[in-house]
Amino acid sequence: MLTAAWVNKHNVWGNGIENPNYNYHTIFRMIKDVAPEKKLAVFSTWQDNRTKLIGEGKSETRNILLDYKFDGLELDTVNFPHDKESKYIQKIDDRVALEAAKCVTKYAPDLTWVYLQYTDDAGHHFGDSKKFDEAVLQADKQIGMIYEAILKRQKKHHEEWVIFVTTDHGRDAITGKGHGGQTARERGTWIVTNAKDLNNYFYAGNPGIVDITPSIMQFLALPIPAQSRVEVDGVSLIGKVSLANPYVLLSSSKKLQIGWDAYDSEGVVKISIAQTNNFLLTGTPDALEKLGEAPIKSGKFVADFLPQAGKVYKIVLEGKYNTVNKWIISN
Ligand SMILES: [Zn+2]
């Protein structure tokens, strides 16, 4: 969600966050890169979100700093003694949501990330149950409090706000307790938003968590910085988009068959290839060689390109409104 990229890029495979690849910038860095005056905020029941995922103050993130932050209560065992059913997490969520609502009301940060945790704990403890439903209802109240603050600001200050609510995973199909497998329910997530200008990709495509960062950049009318633009996997859910869902097939005739879903009927897609992946290793943008271009509505392009075995290639498809990419590994 933060990097608009999938795990093969950002390298955060689980809660351990052992070795995040900060070359894939979070939305916090993207915003600071193009609009340093913007104010950023984090309210979280889990401190690692700020210190490890955003990487506040780390040299690898160019020492990015949040303007407003509230987190770490889960480390306070005096005021929030840890109980077996993790009710203390729900109490922390209450406080985190309250602080977020207060900050929105008073300071109106340009980007606020709020992380609430208890619904996950309730799932693990109780599975599909009344208690799980109650946890969701309480989270709804917490988010409702923040949304009330947004509505008040819109009315009082004539501001425009957008909210995206989502989750990072579903739950196992049988009990609703665990997660981490590949079943449809575990992989299924949802996005709730008040965004007005939702596009056809939102309605007809298959949106995912990676699409939220591009959507917020679009809402803020900020460009995704050039070096991230050719690396992100997300597509904006609002405003105009050109294409999504890129695929690349290596045919037996050693041609690259490239395709996409077109969300615009006019113009062309410029297709290029990177034969290195320095960005992954060092954050240095890779040289892109043009393979050609095709009318966007054709949805496909065949390139005369002979890949070498064992190499990774990045195919970049650039439309008028957005750019998508796909890695291929030749064997
Ligand atoms: Zn979990």
Q: pLDDT band at residue 247, thresholds of 50, 70 and 90?
A: very high
Measured in Å, residue 150 CA sits from the centre of ligand 1 at 29
State yes or no: pLDDT of 329 exceeds 90.
no
Measured in Å, residue 153 CA sits from the centre of ligand 1 at 34
Measured in Å, residue 60 CA sits from the centre of ligand 1 at 28
pLDDT of residue 308: 83
Measured in Å, residue 179 CA sits from the centre of ligand 1 at 6
Residues recorded for the chain: 331
**Residues 235-245, mean pLDDT to the nearest whole number:** 98
State yes or no: pLDDT of 202 exceeds 90.
yes
Residue with tokens 């207060």: 102
Measured in Å, residue 121 CA sits from the centre of ligand 1 at 6
- Spatial CB neighbours of 52, under 8 Å, sequence gap ≥ 6: 17, 20
Indicate the burial class of 185 (C-beta count within 10 angstroms; 0-12, 13-18, 19 or more).
middle
* Residues of each domain in the chain carrying CATH 3.40.720.10: 7-229
* Confidence (pTM): 0.96
* Residues of each domain in the chain carrying CATH 2.60.40.10: 243-329
State yes or no: pLDDT of 282 exceeds 90.
yes
Measured in Å, residue 31 CA sits from the centre of ligand 1 at 29
Measured in Å, residue 273 CA sits from the centre of ligand 1 at 38
Alpha-carbon distance of 218 to 43, in angstroms, equals: 23
pLDDT of residue 78: 97
pLDDT tens for each residue of 55-107:
999 999 999 999 999 999 999 999 999 999 999 999 999 999 999 999 999 99
Measured in Å, residue 8 CA sits from the centre of ligand 1 at 21
Measured in Å, residue 196 CA sits from the centre of ligand 1 at 31
State yes or no: pLDDT of 190 exceeds 80.
yes
Measured in Å, residue 270 CA sits from the centre of ligand 1 at 41
Average pLDDT of the chain is 96
pLDDT of residue 39: 98
The CATH T-level fold of domain 243-329 is: Immunoglobulin-like (2.60.40)
Measured in Å, residue 207 CA sits from the centre of ligand 1 at 22
Long-range contacts at 135-144 (CB < 8 A, ≥ 24 apart):
135/90, 138/90, 138/93, 138/94, 139/93, 142/93, 142/94, 142/96, 142/97, 142/116, 143/97, 143/114, 143/116
Q: Which CATH architecture has domain 7-229?
A: 3-Layer(aba) Sandwich (3.40)
Measured in Å, residue 25 CA sits from the centre of ligand 1 at 25
Q: 97-111, 151-165, 248-262 — which is least confidently predicted?
A: 248-262
- Spatial CB neighbours of 265, under 8 Å, sequence gap ≥ 6: 296, 297
Measured in Å, residue 234 CA sits from the centre of ligand 1 at 24
